[in-house]
Amino acid sequence: MNDFQKIVTNKFIYVPLLVWFCIQTFKVIYELITTKKFNFKRIIGAGGMPSSHSAVVTTLATLIGRYDGFNSSEFALALIFAMVVMYDAAGVRRAAGKQAHLLNKIVETPGLTNVQVQERLVEVLGHTPLQVIVGATIGIIVGLVA
């Protein structure tokens, strides 16, 4: 088996990526149904319910725990990595999204600034704690089933 085949058939790679793709596709379909507009940016964009970031890292950590052992150093590494990613998604990136929202409002307020903006700042960057929890739950379930 060549290296490419090993990568493509590696469960630790394709299952988390498949989870990411499914969640992002769900977000596109959900937005299409609720807004009647097709927004392809949702397939690669951040934010929204559920957190694909959380789902991907918890899927990976759960798979590693199942196959290498929950007492392995690989699982410990994956778990800590997952915690950092989820903290970042719900903390730092969410705060940056809130700041972007406020800055967009300030710049758009007539007479408040003379700043000319070519494009709005991206506001949907992070996740609420509930979005992270739902994403993590999906990841754990998929990791246990796969």
Cα–chain-centroid distance for residue 57?
Answer: 9
Instruction: Categorize the per-residue pLDDT at 129 as very low, low, confident or very high, splitting at 50, 70 and 90.
Output: confident
Q: Give the start-to-end residue ranges of the domains of the chain.
A: 3-91+129-145, 94-125
- pLDDT at residue 56 in the model: 96
pLDDT digits (tens, 9 = 90+) for 25-43: 998 888 888 888 887 777 7
What torsion, rounded to 10 degrees, do the Cα atoms 12, 17, 23, 27 define?
160
Average pLDDT of the chain is: 85
CA–CA dist 78, 26 (Å, integer): 25
- Whether residue 136 has pLDDT greater than 90: yes
- pLDDT at residue 37 in the model: 84
What torsion, rounded to 10 degrees, do the Cα atoms 28, 34, 37, 42 define?
-20
Average pLDDT over residues 19-30: 92
- pLDDT at residue 118 in the model: 66
What global pTM score does this model have? 0.78
Of 142, 145, 144, nearest to 54 by C-alpha is 142
Range with lowest mean pLDDT among 22-26, 34-38, 65-69: 34-38
pLDDT digits (tens, 9 = 90+) for 88-108: 887 766 666 667 777 767 767
- Whether residue 48 has pLDDT greater than 70: yes
